[in-house]
Amino acid sequence: MRLDKKSCSEEWYRIVEEIMGCIKCKLHKTRRNPVPGEGPCNAEIMFVGEAPGGKEDETGRPFVGAAGQFLTELLSMAGLRRENVFITNILKCRPPNNRDPEPDEIEACKPYLVRQVKLVSPKIIVTLGRYAGRILLGDAGIKWSNMTRMHGKVFSVELYGVKLKIMPTYHPAAALYYPKLKPVVIKDFKETLKGLVEEIREEKRNTNRVKKRHTILDFLSS
């Protein structure tokens, strides 16, 4: 687990401590290491997957296996670096044999994610896989249909009190397992997500220009 200590609050570390000792569902009996997530705690972009896999369970870090390597490549295509985004999952513990998350596990674990979203307060959340997409869009009042129809679309929503944009896409592991999905995921990152990233950067440039003009005017009027 890697966190940017400068950007993390005491509340954040309380969440991590609770996750590390959590016994709210049956997954605590089979896990090796919980996986709270990693990245700057004030990241503008947040990625939410479904659950840790074998490598993640072994290391306590999200997306470090083959799917994680592909995710890093996808981030680069979108003009992003892994150390600048926050990455986590709906479930913080690995389901046995990487099976799908069960309803009681989601119910027990989701409050951690809700608190994480509130603290990070990202401008964009990219959901990876149908579970993450269905749950987060559903909580934002958007009806989920299926990944074929929903992937690559951008939804402006209010989620857990935070105004942000959600872009659902396929899980990187699915793209590796089904090669026909790989170009679809690449397009979602290389075109749609990259466009959103550029919008954020342009907003920052405009804000900085305004601040700079105000600074000069303040100097001249003094």
The full DSSP string for 28-73 is GGT-SS----BB-TT-SEEEEES---HHHHHHS-SS-SHHHHHHHH
**Per-residue pLDDT for 217 more than 90?**
no
Look at residue 221 in the predicted model and tell me its pLDDT: 60
d(CA 126, CA 158): 14
Residue of 176, 187, 117 lying closest to 151 (CA atoms): 187
Residue of 117, 127, 106 lying closest to 161 (CA atoms): 117
CA 86 to chain CA mean position, Å:
6
Interval 117-161: pLDDT, tens = 999 999 999 999 999 999 999 999 999 999 999 999 999 999 999
Domains and CATH numbers, the chain: 5-221 (3.40.470.10)
What's the mean pLDDT in 94-112? 97
Q: Which residues contact 8 (CB under 8 A, 6 or more apart)?
A: 41
The whole-model pTM stands at 0.91
**Per-residue pLDDT for 205 more than 90?**
no
